[in-house]
Structure 1
Amino acid sequence: MNVDGELPNIKRWIVLYPIYMNSKKTMAEGRRIGLSKACENPTCAEIGDCCSYLKLPFAIEIDKAYPRDFMQKGRVRVLLKKEDDTLFNPTISSRKQLMLRVADMVPKHHGRTKKQEAAVSTSNAGASNKSGKGGKKRR
């Protein structure tokens, strides 16, 4: 990032929690964009990959948790503007635009497409070998 070796002040970068874009959550639980534009269970790594694709500096903080759902660990800090107030990516000027772009890109993420293909192939191959009737065995 900086050539002279000093760390950038990431405290001033915007924060993105995965819940902000999670279609499984309600607005009251923390989702910040519309349900039709949200994606299913995004991870910090996927959000970070999307930020690097958009050529935005980012930092993943694994030890942090979302206050309303403290079991959900991790958040991503992103820098939208340089020190001279010019945008890193001219198409993204606000936090909301960034959330919408990332939520649009996450379902197309290379890690997700591989997982879905693997899940489809295993679900077809692993047909149920259990009989339909279950219950308590009597003596």
Structure 2
Amino acid sequence: MDGEIPNIKKWVVLYPVYINSKKTIAEGRRISTIKACENPTCAEIGDCCSHLKLSFAIEIDKAYPRDFMQRGRVRVLLKKEDGTPHNPAISSRKELMLRVAELVPRHPGRTKKQEPAAAASTSGTGPSKSGKGGKKKR
């Protein structure tokens, strides 16, 4: 029975913040904004890992230390016991982040939601009043 339970403590940890294009490097992003995706969720990352034929486990009770309000992280089994990668196309943590960030925008649950949000953000009329705040004179 012990042989069946995988030791997920040795698996690679992937927080959604790592591939979030809305975050800065100081806030925890690990890849370039061009390659990152907008607000990924743990479920989407998990689905992308299964698409890449990698074993994964979603830990909902965990949080990223720099942003502890965002709950959840994904543990991914990147390499076998002998050190060979499960998926030869993904040999490193960085490669995993880039591949998952590439797949998340094409996630089936996301394709419908993304269109209205993209249309609203492009209208960009900006604030109408001038930037001067200051005290009003009496």
TM-score bracket, normalised by the shorter chain, equals 0.7 to 0.9
Aligned residue among 88, 92, 95 for 2:93: 95
Output the CA distance in 2 between the equivalents of 1:32 and 1:46. 18
Q: Deviations over 1:39-78 (max 9, x none)?
A: 0000000000000000000000000000000001000000
- The residue that corresponds to 2:110 in the other structure is 112
- Return 5+ residue gaps in structure 2 as ranges: 121-138
Output the CA distance in 1 between the equivalents of 2:99 and 2:112. 21
Aligned residue among 49, 52, 76 for 2:50: 52
How many correspondences in the alignment? 118
Residue 76 of structure 2 is aligned to residue 73 of structure 1: no
Output the CA distance in 2 between the equivalents of 1:64 and 1:30. 16
Q: Deviations over 1:78-97 (max 9, x none)?
A: 01111122211000000000
Tell me by how many angstroms 1:114 deviates.
2.4
Percent identity reads 79
Tell me by how many angstroms 1:8 deviates.
0.6
Residue 88 of structure 1 aligns to a residue whose secondary structure is: coil
Question: What TM-score, normalized by structure 2, do the two folds share?
Answer: 0.80
Question: What TM-score, normalized by structure 1, do the two folds share?
Answer: 0.80
Q: Deviations over 1:77-122 (max 9, x none)?
A: 00111112221100000000000000010000000012235x48xx
- CA RMSD across the alignment: 1.8
- Return 5+ residue gaps in structure 1 as ranges: 124-139
